Amino acid sequence: MITRKLIACFDIRDGMVTKAHKFQDNIDILPAAEMARRMQADKIDGIVLYDIFASAEKRMIDLDPIRRVASEIDVPFTVGGGIRSIEDMHAVLEAGADKISIDSMAVRNPDLIEQAAKEFGSHSIVLSIQVKRVPFSNKIPSGYEVYIDSARQATGLDAVLWAKRGEELGAGEIVVNSIDMDGTHQGFELQITRAISEAVGVPIVASGGAGKPSHLVDVFLQTDAEYAIISSMLYSPRLPRNYTVKELKEALTKAGIAVEPW
């Protein structure tokens, strides 16, 4: 039986954790280090940090929040945003990350996935995919297109085909981040999460849309995702209430889903 894990995602803007709705209308919440302390105390299973504007602004990822967060936690720590080269990856790992997430630059330069996997091992390389529902076509047979640069730029790539190629190039984990469901609190985009989890053999992280415990039950029972990002449920000011990691794990255990002990 797969043991499912709950992940907090820190979207970072100027050192602050921020929450968006469909990649827009960001609300700043707390400094990254303070949020990291809270999540560590709440016994989260892992943390992902994205410098969300680095790629769109064509700049190197800000290393300072990475160092600050890494100093506060002892759970697995993945970092992405603005990572353009093997040298950037070395800098991110030296700042305290355990895994490297690549997204926009992987689309622009797919060879970077292969180079990174050879340099650091596939277990350290995460391919993050921003997906948006579009009309079915010969070019986009899954009905989901890959976007980059914080969901600003369409790529013409089919999400399932891109995930398969990413795995072939050496990605050891794939994040399926739904643009349509991001920040809506209406539940994960199950169709594309299921399609990608069935198409590849590496662990899948479901992202975008979680708002209540039943959404976690749905994604874990109806797809093969191993991880779920639950940021909004933990600290979004747009929700009428937030949940603790303990509450969420109790709900999953009650539904018969294996989780890491709290």
What does the pLDDT read at residue 23? 62
Confidence band of 25 (pLDDT split at 50, 70, 90): low
- Is the pLDDT at 59 greater than 90? The verdict is no
Residues contacting residue 210 through CB under 8 Å, at least 6 positions apart: 185, 187, 188, 216, 219, 228, 229, 230, 232, 233
- Token code pair at residue 140: 């986009």
* Inside any domain, residue 147: yes
Tell me the residue range of the domain where 234 lies.
Answer: 5-254
* Inside any domain, residue 260: no
Please give the C-alpha separations between residue 213 and each of 1, 161, 199, 242, 245, in angstroms, as whole numbers. 20, 30, 26, 11, 10
* Inside any domain, residue 262: no
* Inside any domain, residue 150: yes
- Is the pLDDT at 20 greater than 70? The verdict is no
* Inside any domain, residue 123: yes
* Inside any domain, residue 72: yes
- DSSP secondary structure string for all residues of 167-224: HHHT-SEEEEEETTTTTT-S---HHHHHHHHHH-SS-EEEES---SHHHHHHHHHHS-
For residue range 112-139, what is the model confidence (pLDDT) as tens digits?
A: 999 999 999 999 999 999 999 999 999 9
How many distinct structural domains can be found in the chain?
1
* Inside any domain, residue 173: yes
The CATH number of the domain where 246 resides is what? 3.20.20.70
* Inside any domain, residue 261: no
For residue range 171-229, what is the model confidence (pLDDT) as tens digits?
A: 999 999 999 998 889 999 999 999 999 999 999 999 999 999 999 999 999 999 999 99
